[in-house]
Structure 1
Amino acid sequence: MKVLVTGATGFLGKYILEELATQGYEVTAFGRNVSIGERLTNDKIRFIQGDFTEPSGIMAAAEGMDAIVHAGALSTVWGKWSDFYQTNVVGTENVLAACEDNQVKRLVFISSPSIYAAAKDQLQVKETEAPEKNELNFYIKSKLLAEEKIREKATVDSVILRPRGLFGVGDTSIIPRLIKVNKKIGIPLFDGGQQLIDVTCVENVALAVRLSLESSRAVGETYNITNDEPTPFKEILDQLHRELSVPVNYLSLNYSLMYGVASTLEKLYSLLRITKEPIFTKYTLYLLKYSQTLSIDKAKNELNYQPKMTVAEGIKKYAEDYRSN
Structure 2
Amino acid sequence: MKEPAAGGETSGVEPRGETALVTGASGFLGGYVVRDLRAHGYDVIASGRNAAALPAGETFVGDLDDLARANPGRTVDVVVHCAALSSPWGRWAQFEHANVTGTARALEFARRAGARRLVHISSPGIYAAPRDRLGIREGDVDPRHPMNNYIRSKLEAEALLQSAAAEGPRPEIVILRPRGIIGRGDPSLVPRILHVRERFGIPLMRGGRGLVDLTAVENVALAARLAAEVPGVHGQAFNITNGDPRPFRAVLEQVLDGLGLEPRYRRVPTAAAYGVAAVLEAVCELLPGHPEPPVTRYTVTTIAHSQTLDISRARDLLGYRPAVSLDESLAGYARG
The answer as to whether partners of 1:71 and 1:109 remain within 8 angstroms in 2 is: yes
Structure 2 matches for 1:13-32, cutoff 5 A?
A: 13-32=30-49
2:195 is matched with 180
- C-alpha separation in 1, matches of 2:243 and 2:306: 14
- C-alpha separation in 2, matches of 1:175 and 1:132: 28
- C-alpha separation in 1, matches of 2:203 and 2:68: 45
Q: 2:293 is matched by which residue type in structure 1? A: P
SS in 2 for 1:131: coil
Q: 1:278 is matched by which residue type in structure 2? A: P
- C-alpha separation in 2, matches of 1:197 and 1:266: 24
2:133 is matched with 122
Distance apart, 1:71 and its partner CA: 0.3
* Alignment match of 1:230 (pick from 245, 261, 265): 245
2:335 is matched with 320
Distance apart, 1:303 and its partner CA: 0.6
1:34 is matched with 51
The answer as to whether partners of 1:200 and 1:311 remain within 8 angstroms in 2 is: yes
2:109 is matched with 98
Q: Which moved more, 1:242-251 or 1:162-171?
A: 242-251
Gaps spanning 5+ residues in structure 2: where?
Answer: 1-17
Distance apart, 1:272 and its partner CA: 2.7
Does 1:73 pair with 2:59?
no
Q: 1:28 is matched by which residue type in structure 2? A: I
The answer as to whether partners of 1:70 and 1:110 remain within 8 angstroms in 2 is: yes
Distance apart, 1:61 and its partner CA: 4.3
1:12-43 superposed Cα distances (whole Å, 9 cap, x missing partner): 00000010010110000000001112xx11xx
1:293 is matched with 308
The answer as to whether partners of 1:67 and 1:107 remain within 8 angstroms in 2 is: yes
Structure 2 matches for 1:1-325, cutoff 5 A?
A: 1-37=18-54, 40-41=55-56, 45-54=57-66, 56-57=68-69, 59-61=70-72, 63-154=74-165, 155=168, 156-272=171-287, 274-321=289-336
SS in 2 for 1:68: strand
- C-alpha separation in 2, matches of 1:60 and 1:284: 41
Q: Which moved more, 1:257-266 or 1:144-153?
A: 257-266
Q: 1:178 is matched by which residue type in structure 2? A: I
The answer as to whether partners of 2:89 and 2:149 remain within 8 angstroms in 1 is: yes
Distance apart, 1:56 and its partner CA: 4.3
Distance apart, 1:60 and its partner CA: 2.6
Q: 2:63 is matched by which residue type in structure 1? A: D
The answer as to whether partners of 1:121 and 1:291 remain within 8 angstroms in 2 is: yes
1:242-279 superposed Cα distances (whole Å, 9 cap, x missing partner): 21121111111122222221111111111235333110
- C-alpha separation in 2, matches of 1:137 and 1:279: 15
* Aligned CA-pair RMSD: 1.4
SS in 2 for 1:53: helix
The answer as to whether partners of 2:131 and 2:306 remain within 8 angstroms in 1 is: yes
Q: Report the CA distance shift for 1:61/1:254 in structure 2 as closer, same or farther (over 3 A).
A: farther
Q: Report the CA distance shift for 1:320/1:56 in structure 2 as closer, same or farther (over 3 A).
A: closer
- C-alpha separation in 1, matches of 2:84 and 2:332: 26
- C-alpha separation in 2, matches of 1:7 and 1:49: 10
- C-alpha separation in 2, matches of 1:23 and 1:101: 25
Q: Could you tell me the TM-score, scaled by structure 2's length? A: 0.90
Distance apart, 1:197 and its partner CA: 1.2
Gaps spanning 5+ residues in structure 1: where?
Answer: none
Q: 2:21 is matched by which residue type in structure 1? A: L
1:44-95 superposed Cα distances (whole Å, 9 cap, x missing partner): x3111010034644x4348520010000001111111111111111111111
The answer as to whether partners of 2:134 and 2:306 remain within 8 angstroms in 1 is: yes
Identity %: 41
The answer as to whether partners of 1:8 and 1:29 remain within 8 angstroms in 2 is: yes
Answer 1 or 2: which has greater helix percent: 1
1:119-170 superposed Cα distances (whole Å, 9 cap, x missing partner): 1110000001112333210000000000001011133310000000001111
